[in-house]
Structure 1
Amino acid sequence: MFIQFLKENRYVTLLLTVFRLYLGWQWLNAGWGKISSGKFDASGFINGAIKNMTGEHPAVQPWWGNFLKEVALPYVDLFNVIVPWGEFLVGLGLILGIFTSFSILMGLTMNFAYMLSGTTSTNPQMVLLGMLILMAGLNAGKIGLDRWFIPLLGKLIYKKERNEQFSQSA
């Protein structure tokens, strides 16, 4: 019932837009700060998270710490590019309201990655707001480019499927 309310209520659309713009600005600003400085290096963060997987009450679970040690750290140069650009593009998508569900899903993925790495900061509040946006689906992007783009995309996909069916039956 609550999810249906989020998906269909036109007044909730306004609240979701406020949440979307807030989260979009947070992501855009974080990403742009890293991109424009030209000095972003995730290796310090990753090494700190790896250190936090030991002790009596580790802040980082061993499975995540091992991922960071075995995958993220050896490919830190790749992460130094995808983290800031990912943050920036998530923010841009949310602000413009285009591919809103995908944008917030990627934002939530980053929020969880930061929390799994032992940081809290604003991530829990961003996760709560992001989950509302994700549950709302298309209603979260109605005041944005999704209003026009998603129906157009649906028509293009339907037309392509119909053409494929027609060519198979001929």
Structure 2
Amino acid sequence: MFINWLRQQASAAFILLLIRLYLGYTWLTAGWEKQTGEFDATGFLKGAIANSSGEHPAVQGWWAAFLKHVALPNVEFFNVLVVWGEILVGAALILGIFTTFSALMGAVMNFAFMFSGTTSTNPQMVLLTFFLLVAGFNAGKWGVDYWVIPYLRQRFRRNPSYPNQTTRHL
């Protein structure tokens, strides 16, 4: 019942709009502060790796191994990825374009931050993001998705190379 309300009702779309705007603003301002400041994830990554040992580690070993062997050696790439990921997710959520995908990418970033041992507002943002993900199209109904998603659906239906849903392929 609640899921149907989230996915179909205009009142839910309005509440989802507010959630979307809040999350978008939070992501956009976080990314903009990093872009205009002296952002470098090296210290954060080293701190997360250090927090993977001891009696009660805040970071799991598998994640620390990823940070140590992939993220830290490629920190310049991750510096750009974090900044532009936050800016693009924020802008997309504010505009309501590709809302579900943008929300999913925001959740992935939030989980990466939480895996690294930070809490801050990340759990709250993940919880709010789940509402956007469950709502699907209704989360972006009051946004650019109102025009983009129907256009893309129509475009793929007209494409003869796109498999018809009534045709069975063995």
- TM-score by length of structure 2 reads 0.93
Counterpart residue identity of residue 140, structure 1: A
**Residue of structure 2 equivalent to 1:123:** 122
Shift of 1:162: 6.5
Matches within 5 A, 1:1-170: 1-37=1-37, 39-161=38-160
Distance across 2 between alignment mates of 1:95 and 1:122: 18
**Residue of structure 2 equivalent to 1:168:** none
Counterpart residue identity of residue 161, structure 1: P
Listed one character per residue, the Cα deviations across residues 40-93 of structure 1 (whole Å, up to 9, x for unaligned) are 111110000000000111000001010000100011010010100000000000
Q: Structure 1 residues 163 and 135, CA, compared in 2 at 3 Å: closer, same or farther?
A: closer
Aligned sequence identity (%):
58
- TM-score by length of structure 1 reads 0.93
Listed one character per residue, the Cα deviations across residues 97-138 of structure 1 (whole Å, up to 9, x for unaligned) are 000000000000000000000000000100000000111000
Shift of 1:2: 2.3
Unaligned 5+ residue runs, structure 2? 165-170
Counterpart residue identity of residue 26, structure 1: T
Distance across 2 between alignment mates of 1:71 and 1:95: 32
Shift of 1:164: 8.5
Q: How many residues align?
A: 164
Q: What secondary structure sits across from 1:118 in the alignment?
A: coil
Distance across 2 between alignment mates of 1:74 and 1:16: 39
Unaligned 5+ residue runs, structure 1? 166-170
Instruction: Name whichever structure is richer in helix by fraction.
Output: 1
Counterpart residue identity of residue 89, structure 2: V
Distance across 2 between alignment mates of 1:5 and 1:40: 41
Distance across 2 between alignment mates of 1:121 and 1:16: 22
Distance across 2 between alignment mates of 1:20 and 1:7: 15
